[in-house]
Amino acid sequence: MRILGIETTCDETAAAVVRLTPEGSGEILADEVMSQIAAHAAFGGVVPEIAARAHVEVIDMLIARALARAGIAARDLDGVAAAAGPGLIGGVLVGLMAGKGIALATGKPLIAVNHLEAHALTARLTANIAFPYLILLASGGHTQILAVKGVGDYDRLGATMDDAIGEAFDKTAKMLGLPYPGGPAVEAAAQAGDPERFALPRPMIGRPNADFSLSGLKTAVRFAAEQAAPLTTRDVADLCASFQAAVVDVVEDRMRVGLKRFRERLATAPQAVVVAGGVGANLAIRGALARLCAEAGLPMVAPPQKLCTDNGAMIAWAGIERLRLGRADPLDFAARPRWPL
Ligand code: KG4
Ligand code: ZN
């Protein structure tokens, strides 16, 4: 089974071809990603209208390139998977319509993929993890702790009540004059900083639910930055380190509660603890999860960084997972800007 995957829900235009291996995991035959970061950097965040136009400009070329790299003609695909949401409606429409066009022209099944489901299933593309597993899904738009019980079968154990973790990194970067996207910039600056210089809050720690709240932390960074102004490079590094240390503590605590709730609700331990989404690239956060896993005696799985941020291979893989269960979608499937798992 070979599936084309198309991703356009945010600021990455991506097309990939993934093959289902006899062992049951995926082989990435082509994985083309074009980031729009440069187009949005001047605004410190993604501008929906600019994003949609940029997707239109490159989507056909990227799909053609992915098919060429994979050495496969569209008519030889077994299906076409396109992210149908959640995300910015203009961008989602571009990728979904491209996918529908190819499915219609070739008569192959369309799989309308939930972008969050694709992040949640990515770990099975590279590592053959069995269900159920616990996952921290953390990107610029989403922060959730899920029990992944099967394809299309998810229990949300916790979620953010305000900002996503990636968003908190992006906003912190913006306040401190660091470039967009903020995650990598804050992580890099934090390396040279003192995590104890600024006493920042650890919102939600100790609460019995596994939810997050990050807007208060962001505000605390703003106050600290205002008090320390004008900021030197040293101040920025210390603020980044202090902010990241607070996030790490929060993630560790929330995931510990998530694990407890997983065990209570499913009456079994997870097969693995997985981290996915762009924030999964953060080494300090990965370290916190590794500590938690070591303590609980569970394997930790973090997909390669390239598969943690938005990409087409994860959409193709989610398409494979659904299609092999016979779950294709009609060609009039509507784009869903909001689409909770
Ligand atoms: O999954 P993703 O590529 O796109 C969304 O669906 O949002 O995630 C992007 C988010 C951005 O907010 C970015 O700042 C964050 O992931 N991010 C990081 C790191 N790399 C990317 N956050 C913290 N540390 C990082 N190293
Ligand atoms: Zn994403």
Number of domains in the chain: 2
Q: What is the pLDDT of residue 42?
A: 83
Query: Relative to the alpha carbon of 115, which ligand is closest?
Result: 2
Same domain, 161 and 297: yes
Ligand 1 proximity of 277 Cβ (cutoff 6 Å): yes
Instruction: Please state, in angstroms and rounded to a whole number, the distance separating the CA atoms of residues 85 and 113.
Output: 7
Helices 233-266, 283-296: inter-axial angle, 10-degree rounding:
30
Average pLDDT, the chain: 96
Same domain flag for 63 and 103: yes
> pLDDT for 37-53, tens place per residue?
888 888 877 889 999 99
What value does the mean pLDDT take over residues 316-331?
A: 98
* Same domain? 108 vs 173: no
> H or E segment at 17?
strand 12-20
Local structure of 140: helix, strand or coil: coil
Residue 196 lies in a domain: yes
Give the Cα separation of 44 and 25 in Å (integer).
Answer: 37
* Residue 329 belongs to some domain of the structure: no
158 CB less than 6 Å from ligand 1? no
Same domain? For 285 and 317 the reply is no
76 and 174: one domain?
A: no
User: Cα–Cα distance between 96 and 85 in angstroms, integer?
Assistant: 9
Averaged pLDDT, 237-243? 98
Do 258 and 224 lie in a common domain? yes
> Same domain, yes or no, for 278 and 186?
yes
Answer yes or no: is 337 within a domain. no
Per-residue model confidence (pLDDT) at position 171: 95
Mean pLDDT score, 198-209: 96
User: Does residue 328 have its Cβ closer than 6 Å to ligand 1?
Assistant: no
Instruction: Give the model confidence (pLDDT) of 54-109 as tens digits.
Output: 999 999 999 999 999 999 999 999 999 999 999 999 999 999 999 999 999 999 99
Indicate which atom in ligand 1 lies nearest the CA of residue 182: 14
φ, ψ (nearest 5 deg) of residue 135: -135, 140
From its phi and psi, is residue 71 left (phi > 0), alpha (psi between -120 and 50) or beta?
left
CATH code of the domain covering residue 148: 3.30.420.40
pLDDT at 180: 85
Cβ of 88 below 6 Å from ligand 1: no
Looking at the chain, the number of H-run helices and the number of E-run strands are 12, 10
Please name the amino acid found at residue 300. M
25 shares a domain with 163: no
Instruction: For residues 147 and 293, state if they share a domain.
Output: yes
Residues 94, 181: one domain?
no
Q: Establish if 208 belongs to a structural domain.
A: yes
Is there an atom of ligand 1 within 6 Å of 275 CB?
no
| Residues of the chain above pLDDT 90, percent | 89
Q: What is the whole-number distance in angstroms between the Cα of residue 79 and the centre of ligand 1? A: 29
Per-residue pLDDT at 39: 87
Average pLDDT over residues 223-251: 97
Q: Is there a single domain that holds both residue 204 and residue 73?
A: no
Q: Are residues 154 and 288 in the same domain?
A: yes
Residue ranges of the binding site for substrate: 137-141, 170, 183, 187, 282
pLDDT digits (tens, 9 = 90+) for 5-31: 999 999 999 999 999 999 999 999 999
In a domain, 10, yes or no: yes
* Of 83, 84, 64, 119, the residue nearest 5 (C-alpha): 83
192 — pLDDT class (breaks 50, 70, 90): very high
User: Does residue 336 sit within a domain?
Assistant: no
Centre of ligand 2 to C-alpha 279, Å, is 10
Q: How confident is the model at residue 178 (pLDDT cuts 50, 70, 90)?
A: very high
Percent of the chain at pLDDT > 70 equals 100
Average pLDDT in the 315-335 region?
A: 98
Among the residue ranges 34-43, 69-78, 144-153, 206-215, the one predicted with the least confidence is 34-43
Please choose from 10, 251, 279 the residue to mutate so as to test ligand 1's pocket, defined by most ligand atoms within 8 A of CB: 279
Q: Does a structural domain hold residue 333?
A: no
The answer to whether the beta carbons of residues 14 and 310 sit under 8 Å apart is: yes
Those residues whose C-beta lies under 8 Å from the C-beta of residue 35, and which sit 6 or more positions away, are 11, 12
Q: How far is CA 228 from the centre of its chain?
A: 33
The pLDDT of residue 305 is: 87
Q: By residue range, what is the domain housing residue 314?
A: 2-123+310-323
Distance from C-alpha of 266 to C-alpha of 155, rounded to nearest angstrom: 10
pTM across the whole model: 0.94
315: in domain? yes
